[in-house]
Every structure is written in C-alpha cells, then in structure tokens.
Amino acid sequence: MPGNELVKCPGADRPVTDLAQSDVAASPCKAVKALAGVIVHELNNILTAAIGNLSLLNDVGFADTEAAAQIVGEVLAASRRGVSLSEELEAFASQLRLEPETVDANRLVQQALARSPDRLRGPAVQLRLAPVQLPLHIDPVRFRMAVASAASGAIRIMSKQADCLSVETAAVADADGNRFVQISIVCDGEAVHEDAVADALVNFHSGARTGMWGLASVAGFLTQSGGRLRARVEPASRLRLTIELPA
C-alpha cells in the first residue's frame, strides 16, 4: 500500500492531505497519539472505579429514594459517555483491543449502514457492492463503527447539505500486485468547503452525541488494522472518503 502522499484533484484549489499518514505532521502526530494512549489508560482506570462504585451504591440500596436514584443514574450515564470517549481516544491512538476475524466486507458494510444513526438516512443513500465476497481479517465490530462513522463524517463535512451519499465496495490491486479491499464513500451536495474537510480530518471526536467516531479515530483504527483512510475534494461539489485495507 502506498505510503505518504498528497491527494490533488482537478478543479480543487489546494491539495487535501492523506489522512492516515502525512510527512508534514508525522512527528507531532506520533507525540499526540502517545499522549492520548497515556491519557486513555488513566481515564479507563478512573471510569472503571467510578462505574463500579456507583453500581455498588445501587446494590446496597443507597439509591432507594427517587432523588438519590436520579443522582446516581445521571452520574452513571455521564461515566458511560466517558467510556465511549475513551474508546474514541484508543482508536485515535491506534491502541484498541482488537478481536479480528475473517469476514466479508460487503456484509459488514451493509450492516454498518443499516445500524447507523437516522441522519445517514437523510440524503438518498446508494449502496453498490462488489459482485463477489470481499474477505477481510479485521475486528468486525470496530469495522462497522469505522464505516458508519466515515459516512456520518462525510455528511457533517457537507454541513448537512448532502443530496446523495453513495457507498461502493471493490477489490483492487496496486502495481506490485498487492490486493486490497476498498470502500468508497462519496457525498454530493451544494458545496464542499476544504477548510471543513481539513478540520474534520484531525478530529478524533465526532462532536455530536451520535455514538460515532471522529474521522481521526477512524483513521487510527484503520492504521492499526494495516489500512488507511484518504479524503479528497472532487469537482462538482463532491467529497470522496476512501477506506483501504489489505485483503
């Protein structure tokens, strides 16, 4: 799989950097990811203690009164949101605890879109699957999350003005004969703002309570799985996100 590159499309005013790997940001990005790994380790310890003790309060009857039950419930809910944020940080830092299996990418892409938030059903969604099975050795749960999050991220980049979202799968090969599974997420709309694309590529958090990852976390998971995420702005107000993974 090609390494560092810039993606420049005809009609685009300036290049959009390959998301997963960039020469310019490589060293700072490694330092930030290392810091994220340390933070998420400590955060997990704190959340484990908090959730465990709050659950214990319920077990011993502390939350028998309505007011106490409400307080414990709210703190538990906040702690569980912290767990979701912690997972995003782990993905960004490429430090997820993965459970890879041999799966069919076509089936998982279908499942990812079917289970995604309602906002993905806003624009017309077109799904074009390769006519053959696309075997991958990957964590299926995190792969579905990555696909759904990338599609959701594409719509957010379009400032909710997306007219059409298409998701395509294909088997591809490079000049050396290495084979890959490619998932292309193409979003058409009224306008694509390159600054919005650039900002989205460095955000590990989606910024919304959709349960989705930010694109930087999607890229971190793909990097950990041997793949990458690329983004480019094409003519006619089109945004293309491409997921590539070794077959």
Mean pLDDT of 114-140: 82
Structure confidence at residue 167 (pLDDT): 94
What is the reported pLDDT for 120? 64
Q: Is the dihedral of CA 109, 113, 114, 116 positive or negative?
A: positive
Q: If pLDDT is split at 50, 70 and 90, which confidence band does 69 have? A: confident
Reported as a pLDDT band with limits 50, 70 and 90, residue 237 is confident
When comparing pLDDT for 25 and 209, which is higher? Answer: 209
Contact (Cβ atoms closer than 8 angstroms) between residue 122 and residue 155: yes
pLDDT digits 0-9 by tens, 70-85: 777 777 777 777 777 7
DSSP string, the chain: ---S-EE--TT-SS-EE-SS--TTTHHHHHHHHHHHHHHHHHHHHHHHHHHHHHHHHHHTTGGGSHHHHHHHHHHHHHHHHHHHHHHHHHHHTT------EEEEHHHHHHHHHHTS-GGGGSSEEEEE--SS--EEEE-HHHHHHHHHHHHHHHHHHTTT-EEEEEEEEEEEE-TT--EEEEEEEEEEES---HHHHHHHHT-SB-SSTTSPBPHHHHHHHHHHTT-EEEEEEETTTEEEEEEEEE-
pTM of the model: 0.68
Mean pLDDT computed over every residue of the chain: 75
For tokens 């959340």, name the residue: 47
pLDDT, tens digit, for every residue of 153-208?
A: 888 777 656 678 899 999 999 889 999 999 999 988 766 666 667 666 666 555 55
* pLDDT the model gives residue 21: 41
Task: Tell me the C-alpha to C-alpha distance, in Å, between residue 131 and each of 105, 193, 242, 246.
Answer: 12, 34, 19, 18
Alpha-carbon gap, residue 213 to 85, rounded angstroms = 9
Residue 128 has pLDDT above 60, yes or no: yes
What average pLDDT does the segment 204-229 reach?
79
Q: Which of 7-16, 104-113, 145-154 has the highest mean pLDDT?
A: 104-113
More confident residue, 157 or 149: 149
Count of C-beta atoms within a 10 Å radius of residue 49: 11
Whether the per-residue pLDDT at 25 is higher than 70: the answer is no
What's the confidence (pLDDT) of residue 94?
75
